Amino acid sequence: MATTPAPVPATPVPAAVAKPATPAVVSPFVAIENDVVWIRTHVLAILFAVALIGGLTLGGITLTENLIERHDARVAAAQQQKEGVDTATQQALLAQLTQDRAADAARDAAQTTLIQTLVAQMAQQRAATAKQVATDSTLDAQSAAARLTTQTKANPGDITVSGNNIIMPLPITRTVVADLDLLPQAQSDVNNLQAQLTAQQTLTTDAKSELADDNKVIAADKDELIATIKADNAACKVQVDAQAKKDRKRGMWVSFASFVGGLVVRSMI
């Protein structure tokens, strides 16, 4: 019986040994081109950051100036409105005062003229009365009877003379008695009128003095108004300066924040 030979094991074929990769040769032109791209990119980024910082800074300054101008305009408008109201009120008061003074001056002139006329008439009447009294003291009976006839408007012959005696009927006697009764009242009225005239002259003098004082008060009020307006303007200027300082500080902070933001953007790029 034939023996089957044992199979011969296959000899393993050794795997191919991998050869090391040969490094690619980089062209120097490519390296230079890459460097140029890198530089250009960073230059553009830097220019963008500078432009951003400059724009934010200019924007902050412009915003600050705009805020200051708007604030100054509001304050100036409010101040002008207040001064306009004060000036209009002052002008209205002065116009009313001028009108009142003109009316008072015309009325005072008319009253002064009337008083002077009445005083002149009283002086003439007093002079005539004094002259008549002096004449009456020298009258004889006939002249006295004639004077009584004229004064009492008696008919001729009603008043007669007997020696140094004057005879007149009862109705005329009653008229003389009534006139004599009215004489004290007339004298009292004259004295009262003179006292009233003196009092009125005193009132007129006081009124003129009060008018002078009122003029002083008006002048003082006018000066006070001018001083108040100047003080308001000064206070307004102080407020504007203070607000301007605040706005400048805000603008500086905005500019600083813009600069920091630009640096942050630059670092991120």
Q: Does residue 162 or residue 16 have the better pLDDT?
A: 162
Q: How far apart are CA 64 and CA 78, in angstroms?
A: 21
- Which are the contacts of 261, defined by CB distance < 8 A and separation ≥ 6? 52, 53, 56
Q: Of residues 250 and 3, which shows the higher confidence score?
A: 250
Q: How confident is the model at residue 131 (pLDDT cuts 50, 70, 90)?
A: very high
Tokens, residue 3: 């023996």
Give the CB-side neighbour count of residue 177, counting CA atoms within 13 A: 7
| pLDDT of 145 higher than 50 | yes
Q: What is the pLDDT of residue 127?
A: 92
The residues spanned by each domain of the chain are: 35-95+141-268
SS3 category, 84? helix
| Across 65-75, average pLDDT | 69
Torsion of CA 82, 85, 91, 94, to 10 degrees: -90
Choice between 58 and 101, residue whose per-residue pLDDT is larger: 101
pLDDT score at 198? 86
d(CA 80, CA 83): 5
Which tops the pLDDT comparison, 175 or 84?
175
pLDDT in tens, 204-244: 888 888 888 888 887 888 788 778 877 877 777 777 777 77
Given a contact cutoff of 8 angstroms between Cβ atoms, the answer to whether 99 and 220 are in contact is no
Are 164 and 141 within 8 A, CB to CB? yes
